[in-house]
């Protein structure tokens, strides 16, 4: 009779044989994100990722020679695209909907994985991932905030000088602070309060105050 370990190995090998190329790579990347979001950077192992993807460890190392390489590609594959901020007709509604999208990204599996990397990595690894996160999450989200503000200026519901870097950093700074320090999960009502009590008064033209 086949032992439980032998049966598990046979199943893993069978699954690996059935999935090749992009399909297997996607399964490995998904398993890496799952590991990051549950056990964190320090708990993630190549063996654990291989088990999660139901493949052999060699299949993982063949594609990604290091844990850092694997996690970098997993984050790139998992982070949501920030292509365009939809026009909802007012600065208040544009900011509200954009912040909801950012909140959803922060609390998605890739979002939890991203925070695990930022909070747990050693300085050398963190520096590598910081560039990846800046170019694929922070800069795109800031660009969309800039688009919303510029559109508000054109409509007349935002003051013309509200394009400084510090103004654009208010939303991400407040969201990250309250998420990390206060444990806020940013329900829709909290986002509305932030927009109505802080952002709209900050951006509103003097004549509209």
Task: Render pLDDT for 164-209 as a digit per residue (tens, 0 to 9).
Answer: 888 888 888 898 888 878 888 899 999 999 999 999 999 998 765 5
Q: Which CATH superfamily is domain 4-77 in?
A: Tetracycline Repressor, domain 2 (1.10.357.10)
Q: 3-class DSSP state for residue 82?
A: coil
Considering the four listed CATH numbers 3.40.50.300, 3.30.230.10, 1.10.645.10, 1.10.357.10, the one that applies to the domain covering 79-208 is: 1.10.357.10
- What confidence tens digit (pLDDT) does each residue in 48-72 have? 999 999 999 999 999 999 999 999 9
Taking residue 31's Cβ as centre, other Cβ atoms within 10 Å add up to 22
Long-range Cβ contact pairs of 39-45 (< 8 A, separation 24 or more): 40/116, 40/120, 41/71, 41/116, 41/117, 41/119, 41/120, 41/121, 42/120, 44/71
Listed by start position, the domains of the chain span: 4-77, 79-208
* pLDDT given at position 183: 81
């Amino acid at each position: 009779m086949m032992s439980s370990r032998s049966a598990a190995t046979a199943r893993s090998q069978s699954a690996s044989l059935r999935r090749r190329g992009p399909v297997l790579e996607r399964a490995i990347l998904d398993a890496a994100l799952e590991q990051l979001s549950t056990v964190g950077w320090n708990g993630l192992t190549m063996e654990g990722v291989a088990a999660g993807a139901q493949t052999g460890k060699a299949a993982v190392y063949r594609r990604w020679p290091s844990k850092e390489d694997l996690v970098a590609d997993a984050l790139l594959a998992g982070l949501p695209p920030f292509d365009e901020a939809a026009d909802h007709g007012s600065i208040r509604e544009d900011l509200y909907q954009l912040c909801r999208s950012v909140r959803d990204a922060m609390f998605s599996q890739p979002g939890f994985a991203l925070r695990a990397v930022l909070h747990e990595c050693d300085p050398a690894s963190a520096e590598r991932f910081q560039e990846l996160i800046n170019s694929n999450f922070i800069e795109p989200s800031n660009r969309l905030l800039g688009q919303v503000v510029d559109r508000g200026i054109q409509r007349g519901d935002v003051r013309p000088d509200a394009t400084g870097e510090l103004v654009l950093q208010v939303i991400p700074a407040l969201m990250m602070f309250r998420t990390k320090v206060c444990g806020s999960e940013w329900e829709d009502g909290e986002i509305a309060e932030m927009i109505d009590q802080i952002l709209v008064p900050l951006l509103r033209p003097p004549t509209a105050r």
